[in-house]
Amino acid sequence: MITNCYAGLPSKCPRTLWNFAFAGADIDPAILPLHHNYTVDMTEQADQWVQAWKSDLIRAPTKSSLAAFFIGINDTGDVNGWTNITDWSAFWKAEMNSYFRVVDQVYDTGLRHFLFLNVPDRPTSGSNPQIATFNSLLAQHVAAFKASNKDVSAILFDTNKLFADILDNAAAYGFTNTTG
């Protein structure tokens, strides 16, 4: 187990893990409709974290806690093929601004260590041109976040590169089928 605690109260475990992620989430329903009608979007996930923090339900030790963000797969996938957006740059800027309002909310609860994972492309199902734009803007926003918050440690992990390497060298990783 990740936390090395198999039974009992989570508060009694040596390490705790809080997961507010929801499969199928998009960043902000004000910008992009929910992936599913029951999805908890990223902005609501952050609101849940802040509410739990303010209610003293969760107290993450700020010096040893890591906030990880892996979002954008549904956003980039849901808009793939859309023809009604005429300014993709403005669209993705709005998405990133919303994304980093969430990051700022988490920062405001005292957390200072951040991990961001970019979006992997899926060349087996056809490349998505929106992913490169999303990943580029994510890198810019992570750099700006670090520059404006000198007390932050933040890492951008290149999931796209890792997944591409695994798909290109599947046998070396023990995979025999990469088509689904």
pLDDT in tens, 73-122: 999 999 988 999 999 999 999 999 999 999 999 999 999 999 999 999 87
Q: What is the pLDDT of residue 80?
A: 86
Between CA 22 and CA 93 the distance in angstroms is 23
Q: What is the pLDDT of residue 1?
A: 42
Between CA 124 and CA 126 the distance in angstroms is 6
What's the angle, vertex CA 25, arms to CA 20 and CA 31, rounded to 5?
120
Model confidence band, residue 20 (pLDDT cutoffs 50, 70, 90): confident
Cα–Cα nearest to 65, from 10, 122, 104, 106: 106
Q: What is the pLDDT of residue 9?
A: 65
Between CA 94 and CA 90 the distance in angstroms is 6
pLDDT in tens, 22-53: 888 999 999 999 888 899 999 999 999 899 88
Q: Which pTM does this prediction carry?
A: 0.88
Mean pLDDT of 1-15: 61
pLDDT in tens, 123-176: 666 678 899 999 999 999 999 999 999 999 999 999 999 998 998 899 999 999
Alpha-carbon dihedral of residues 72, 74, 79, 85, nearest 10 degrees? Answer: -40
